[in-house]
Amino acid sequence: MILEAQDLARRRYLEATNDHEPVRIGAVVDQVLDDLVLAGQVIHPTAEADAKNELVSHLAGFGVLQRYLDDPEIEEVWINRPDEVRFASGGQSKCESVDLPQAEIVRLVDRMLRNSGRRIDRSQPFVDAELPDGSRFHCAIPDITRASYAVNIRKFSKRSRTLGQLVMLEVLSAAEADFLSLAVRAGKNVVVCGATQAGKTTMLSALMAELEQHERVISIEETFELKLNNPDWVAMQTRPAAAEGLAEITMRKLVKESLRMRPNRIVIGEVREAECLDMLIALNSGVPGACTIHANSAKDAVEKLCSLPLLAGPNISADFIRQAVGRSIDFVLYCQMDSSGKRRLEQILALEWNSVGRDIESVEVRL
């Protein structure tokens, strides 16, 4: 009955209007169920509420995926192939069989991209976008993938955490929180590193929550993920090249533009490539900042910070970059998630440039 109702609603009502507001869809669902009853379809009274909820999720939300997105215990949802949904909850990966044919996956991807201004097709087989609830959506399609769409939806908390709240969650100690709060307020430059889902973005947001209310924060991301409560905050994201002729806006471009926006603090959601050079130049110009980077340890993050700027061009000196890192980065925080799903700040590494030895010196901060 549900499949028949879905087809009927989409064909007779939704395709005839651009009005996809929840109230309108609720009216559509009621009318469709009435039409099915008039056509002889038997709907048991106890099943009517479930039928309405499922139809609204299908039409206004993201179909069978909606219940995973609504579940606050689920951190990430992904699809590798039709009729199967995988998700992470409490740091553990799980899998469920669902009624999700390939055609429905394609339709859901189109819906997820509808208001993003981004596209996915053979010439652009990858896409990153933000869903209405703030989740990060990524998709790859054949022939980059073997046969099916590969979809990932990374969910984020709708509210930012403070260092005090992270102490209550045992992510870090009270002494570590006090130390980092003083460091951030003093204008120290901080890099948060770790593996995927180690809590880097949450830690970065918590650090920015320690800033004074008058400080102006400019954040730069590929897709919006940071949740900051700073009153004077401008969030910017990159833009891929579009078929309509819209020019690509890169991370490097945004870092340069941010310096013209009177920042008290520059925050880069994640440093991955040559934009690391622009960040180091910005930090060395006297504008404090923070960022995240994927790395297996704090020392690995330092080496990565020294190598990524070399991607900017052959005329970049490795010695110059190493000195820039040593002079501009004050602390590297290493976050980790254990096998039980518990996140923890494992290490605080302090950096400084040794002008005699011409190298970066590091020492672990123990509190």
Predicted local distance difference test score (pLDDT) of residue 14: 47
pTM recorded for the entire structure: 0.78
Q: How far is CA 100 from CA 34, 148, 221, in A?
A: 26, 12, 32
- Tokens of residue 160, six digits: 């930012």
Domain 163-364 class in CATH: alpha beta
Nearest to 2 by CA among 52, 62, 61: 52
3-state secondary structure of 14: helix
Nearest to 332 by CA among 169, 192, 216, 199: 192
Predicted local distance difference test score (pLDDT) of residue 331: 98
Nearest to 153 by CA among 133, 134, 138: 138
3-state secondary structure of 114: coil
3-state secondary structure of 152: strand
65-154: CATH topology is Beta-Lactamase (3.30.450)
Alpha-helix runs per DSSP H in 20-141: 22-38, 45-60, 66-70, 102-113
- Whole-angstrom Cα distance, residue 58 to residue 137? 18
Which uninterrupted H or E stretch holds 3?
helix 2-12
Q: Using 70 as the pLDDT threshold, list the residues of the chain that sit under it.
A: 1-61, 157-159, 242-246
Predicted local distance difference test score (pLDDT) of residue 6: 52
Report the DSSP beta bridge partners of residue 138.
128, 152
Predicted local distance difference test score (pLDDT) of residue 16: 43
pLDDT in tens, 87-114: 998 778 999 999 899 998 998 999 888 8
Predicted local distance difference test score (pLDDT) of residue 66: 85
pLDDT in tens, 289-314: 999 999 999 999 999 999 999 999 88
